[in-house]
Amino acid sequence: MLSFLASHGVKPSVLVEAGSVEFIKEYIIQGRGISFLYKPEVQLEAKMGLLKPLELVEGPISIQTVIVVPDGVTLSPPSRAFLDVVGSPQSSEAK
């Protein structure tokens, strides 16, 4: 996100990282900033008029993510199927 913003000449004055989506939403509702969140995570607050989702003019933005699984644990069939759907190269090893 920071490189995307920098490429458009935007430099945030404050950067806050939080491990709780609820904390981030409350922070935004209080008018203390903006955030990039997954659409399903803000649907209720948007319907209530607490948050206003904005569509990006330029898009899509790719987000790197990592899927982690417990070491040495046999995954359930639904978990293995999910890894197969998302195309995890480790899905066969995680079985």
- Per-residue pLDDT of 15-74, as tens digits, reads 888 889 999 999 999 998 888 888 889 999 999 999 998 877 776 677 777 788 888 888
- What number of CA atoms fall less than 13 Å from residue 82's CA on the CB side? 9
What distances in angstroms separate CA 42 from CA 7, 8, 25, 28, 30, one per listed residue?
A: 27, 25, 8, 11, 15
Q: How many CB atoms lie within 10 A of CB 72?
A: 5
> Who has greater pLDDT, 1 or 54?
54
Q: What is the chain's mean pLDDT, rounded?
A: 83
> Using 50, 70 and 90 to split pLDDT, how confident is the model at 88?
low
In this structure, what token pair is assigned to residue 3? 């490189």
Of 47, 56, 40, the closest CA to residue 1 belongs to: 56
**What pLDDT score was predicted for residue 75?**
87
